[in-house]
Amino acid sequence: MNWEEKPLRGQHRPNGDASAAQTPICRPLYNSADRGVPRTHYCGIMRGADAGEAVVLAGWVARRRDLGGLIFVDLRDRSGTVQVVFDPSENAGAHAVAGRLRAEYVVAVSGRVAERDPASRNRALPTGDIEIRPVEVEVLAESLTPPFYLTDEPAADETLRLRYRYLDLRRPAQNRNLALRHRITQVIRRYFDRHDFLEIETPSLTRSTPEGARDFLVPSRLSRGAFYALPQSPQLFKQLLMVAGFDRYFQIARCFRDEDLRADRQPEFTQIDVEMSFVAEEQVMAVTEGLMLEILERSDTRLARVPFPRITYAEAMARYGTDRPDMRFGMELKDVSALVLDGGTPAPAFCQATTGGGEVRAIVVAGGAGTSRKVLDGYAAEVARFGLGGLGSVHFADGGPRTSLSRFYAPEILERWRTEVAAETGDLLLIAAGPASKVRAALGQLRLHVARERGVIPDRELAFVWVTEFPLLEMSEQEGRLVAVHHPFTAVHPEDRALLATDPAAARARAYDLVLNGVELGGGSIRNYRRDQQMGLFEALGMSEAEAEQRFGFLLEALDYGAPPHGGIALGLDRMVMMLAGLDSIRDCIAFPKTSSGSCLLTGAPAPASAEQVKELGLEIGPAKV
């Protein structure tokens, strides 16, 4: 999936600023020893129509080739590269300077745009029809030899590239990623402004509240022993803005969570934060869909279905084994619990699973009847990671069904299975049995594994889906108590209000997630907007009235002053850019990311504070963690 490379507007700005659509940039962007020098053009925007134009360019030497007379220099800035040809017969002085240029020197070149000879044009380069014939060249800054090549696909280890992130960001691929992020952000702001939302900033120093992850704490110098917390999200503040009457709010918000990291998670991240008053789920979803469609108008991907389909959490788990289903392909999970017990002498594993409260589910692999034993063993290893003891298989081959289950089921029964699961001759049936949660999770993961292995997932297709009616609460094995699935300000489903008092774990939430190609882009909910609603949820979480007042008294008091019904959503900007750019990690669309251990290799953060700073804060530092 790739965003279109052409600028949004204009010819002279790499990010398409409308104000400069017809005129070049003429600002003093750098200074030599004795004069200001105006850059007139970016390197990557000139074409054949610009032949004969006088230009002043500035950038980095991407490559230098000395052919024993002519010297060719590829000059690079964030818009792209252009070839500069130094000919000693045209300008001996400039040629002499070019002779000492090296990779990543910063240079200024003044000269004229010339059309290349047709035989030497580079069709792979946007500026491949032209070259620059220099009148003057000046070295503005020399460079050490970079520790790695600044190409789109560097061979250097990521650790080294993060250590020299300012060099890594010079790579064209990284440049494109951050330019894409910029353009998406601008689309977001224009969209919400057009739909009467106000962009309002909320505090970065707040108080610690339970929202699902650890807070980053900030000690207060003025109030010793007290701490601020960096916001995990602006959740409470955006609800207070609804109470304040700002009925349509959004923010490109920085958020902080002290949690374990992975490819699509960072300790500090950016989310598109939205809240609306006097709405239900439908209105929040409609606004979000409109935003996504506007962002995707400039994408070369295609949407699988519009409007976005909606399925409940229970449906998603039953059909896909996950609450983040990838809808770009089929291979759905099928409940065959009754089928495998009907006829023959049912396999002991199937009987044991169903009588123990579990289930038997299966997936059909189209064209998989010829799958080898070695590959099947690999599939069995995949489900074993989820605690299942084995994986059954039935090969619906031309000569009839082949399976190790034949000692329990006659061929005619297996043929009935084929009809019931809608398998064709040549297909493979994979069967798992055990506790329902394990079976669904295992087959959901196996579904993705098989689809990737067989190449059945469309590359350039975007499949959105709304997952709705999540459980309101779930049992935390770590804490041994009920916790909120989304957050403790989510409203209970109207049909399940009575369950808060009798069976809170069975209650559904007015919560919804937006999933794209198996990745959660974000989630939201309709909120509790009356004190009694909010206190009912706090009580279900085991929170006393005194504790609720101590932690959330400011919110409860605000709800007493006429709060409107409201709801919203938060979408991960980093993940969105990652997916639209076809990246494997959000680190590649964040300018200065952290490693998987939460450290910044460029600056050395986190780092110890001085003894004076620690004393001033009234803190004591314990022994280092081993």
Answer positive or negative: Cα dihedral of 609, 615, 616, 617: positive
Amino acid present at 68:
G
Mean pLDDT by 10 residues, the chain (626 residues): 36 47 38 62 94 95 93 96 96 95 96 94 94 95 95 86 96 93 95 98 89 84 92 96 98 92 82 98 96 83 79 98 96 96 87 93 96 95 93 94 92 94 96 96 97 91 95 86 92 95 94 96 97 94 92 95 98 94 91 92 93 90 74
Packing angle of the helix pair 172-194, 281-296 (nearest 10 deg) = 140
The neighbour count for residue 148, using CB atoms within 10 Å, is 15
Closest CA to 490 of 526, 523, 522, 466: 526
pLDDT at 9: 30
Reduce the DSSP state of residue 477 to 3 states and report it. coil
Which parts of 156-229 fold into alpha helices (H)? 158-163, 165-168, 172-194
pLDDT, mean over the chain: 90
The candidate with the shortest Cα–Cα distance to 515, out of 323, 264, 312, 293, is 323
Instruction: Judge contact between 421 and 362, C-beta under 8 A.
Output: yes
> Closest by alpha carbon to 510, among 552, 563, 466?
466
How far is residue 282's CA from residue 284's CA, in Å, rounded to a whole number? 6
User: What kind and span of H or E run contains 228?
Assistant: strand 227-229
Q: In terms of Cα–Cα distance, which of 217, 366, 279, 322 is closest to 569?
A: 279
Helix (H, G, I), strand (E, B) or coil at 407: helix
pLDDT digits (tens, 9 = 90+) for 172-217: 999 999 999 999 999 999 999 999 999 999 999 999 876 567 899 9
Beta bridge partners of 432: 361
Q: Residue 198, Cβ neighbours under 10 Å: how many?
A: 13
Q: Which domains does the chain have, with CATH numbers?
A: 18-141 (2.40.50.140), 176-308+465-589 (3.30.930.10), 329-457 (3.30.1360.30)
The bridge status of strand 473-476 relative to strand 481-484 is: antiparallel
Quick: pLDDT tens for 586-602: 999 999 999 988 999 99
Structure tokens at 179: 């330019």
